[in-house]
Amino acid sequence: MKGGIVIILASVVALIGLASSQVNSQNTELIFVTDVDSENKIYVANLRDDLVFTSIPSTKEPRYITYDSVEEKIYWTDKDTKRVYRADVDGGNREVVTSQSGDELRGIAIAERSRTLYTANKSPKKITSVSIVPGSSFPRAETDFTSELSEELYSLEVDEEKGFLYWSLKYKIQRKRLDGSGGTETIYRNNDLSEITGLSIDLTRDPRRIFFCDFGKKRSYYKDVNQSPSTAQDLTNYMNDPDISGEKEREKLIDISYFDGTLYWTKEDDPNGIAVMTNYDQSSRSFDIKETSEINKPYQLLIINVNP
């Protein structure tokens, strides 16, 4: 486990520029994190630079976050205004994307080819969609993608190549075709779970592999989507940081992200920071919690490649 990270006041533009000069033509890998305790900011760090976080401006209470690589914009939901916003990766050129919702917004995901944004709604329990095709002004009206859900929604993920939208519920993971055809398919179900708050997909594998974590039950799993809905590989017993006693390293893990062979979680408390697992499906796997003093309650994370 690494100690508290010393805060460095630097702009994201400078951060990207420094990394670009070091790796020449390679992309810069950035991690964005929202914080329940911080208003008007989203935290960002170079993924390969010891997770030294600084902040970019945002709306009052940013929560769920995603990225559009076509227009190079980050999108996020705001708990206070119940809207979706977007901006450049440095927080500039902010725009309101959606009209105000009647209740809290949850996960968001973008189908980049069709230029469609999907948003999970806490109540009523539904997923909406809105076009983000350039040309007309924001905010734009949303339409219902699916509204027959009986459980509370959390995270969304898009697999546009295979044509599916995935979402996590209290104890299930489901998917539906992006074109709206067919019914809803349950990919995983476990009645012993309570809050599958984090969901991620390895889009390089065929069949696809999904990763998910349950905040309430302190469990993390992965599975291939062609396996039985009752089957998943449990990662929890391998999540041991030798510098932390008991099971605190597994507690309050809210979000999960797969990126370039490595798994990342946001960890809310005692200690708070970013949990990292390498070689997750091998005997040589390792698990470490990288503490951060800048972020009080890490919530959602986004990891992206940014062109230099």
What is the Cα–Cα distance from 3 to 158, expressed in whole angstroms?
35
Q: C-alpha angle 50/53/54, rounded to 5°?
A: 145
Rounded average pLDDT over 252-271: 96
Q: Is 194 a domain residue?
A: yes
The answer to the question of residue 3 being in a domain is no
How far is CA 294 from each of CA 122, 131, 250, 266, 275, rounded to the nearest angstrom?
Answer: 29, 35, 21, 13, 15
Identify the pLDDT of residue 238. 95
Contacts of 151 (CB under 8 A, 6+ apart): 125, 169, 170, 171, 172
CATH code for position 133:
2.120.10.30
Residue 307: the pLDDT is: 80
pLDDT digits (tens, 9 = 90+) for 119-170: 999 989 999 999 999 987 899 989 999 998 989 999 999 999 999 999 999 9
pLDDT computed for residue 57 by the predictor: 98
Of 251, 295, 234, 219, nearest to 32 by C-alpha is 295
Mean pLDDT of all residues in the chain? 91
pLDDT tens digits, residue range 40-70? Answer: 999 999 999 889 999 999 999 999 999 999 9
Number of CB atoms found within 10 A of residue 24's CB: 7
Please give the pLDDT value at position 1: 46
pTM: 0.91
Span 194-201, mean pLDDT?
98
pLDDT value, residue 15: 52
Confirm if 178 and 111 have CB atoms less than 8 A apart.
yes
User: Quick one: average pLDDT of 232-239?
Assistant: 96
Domain assignment of residue 260, yes or no: yes
Q: Does 5 fall in a domain?
A: no
**Helix, strand or coil, per DSSP, at residue 148:** coil
Number of folded domains that form the chain: 1
Range of the domain at 292: 12-306
- Cβ atoms of 305 and 72 within 8 Å: the answer is no
Where is pLDDT greater, at 136 or 37? 37
Cα separation values, 28 from 69, 202, 273, Å: 13, 20, 21
